[in-house]
Amino acid sequence: MKKEMVEQIKANPHYQELLAKRTGFSIKLSIAMLTVYCIFILTIAFYPEVLGTPLAAGSVTTVGIPVGIGVIIFAFILTGIYTKRANGEFDDLNNKVKQSLKED
C-alpha cells in the first residue's frame, strides 16, 4: 500500500469513527472478561471453601464446576457480542472508508 493511501485512510472521518468505536468497545468487553475472571481466581485463592462446596449432599461435583463453566460461557457470549457488532456496525464503517477511497 502506498504511503499516500495510508495517510488518506488515516485522515478519513469514517476511519477515525471506526477506530474510536472499535477500540472503546473492545476495551469494555476486555474489562468485563477480566473482571469476571479475576473474581473467579480471587475466589479460588481466598475463599476456596465457597467453590469447594458440594452441589448436593454426598455429591462429588462442587459449586466451582458450574461457576467455571459459567466463566467459559461468558467468554463465548462476549465473543458473540463482538462478532455481531463487528459484522454489522464496524463492517458498515469499513465499507464507507473503502467507498470514499474509490471516490477519490
**Chain segment 46-63, per-residue pLDDT in tens:** 999 999 999 999 899 999
User: What is the pLDDT at residue 40?
Assistant: 97
Backbone angles phi, psi at 54, to 5 degrees: -65, 150
User: What is the pLDDT at residue 76?
Assistant: 98
**Predicted TM-score (pTM) of this structure:** 0.83
| 79: number of Cβ within 10 Å | 12
Angstrom distances, CA of residue 92 to CA of 2, 62, 81, 96: 24, 46, 16, 6
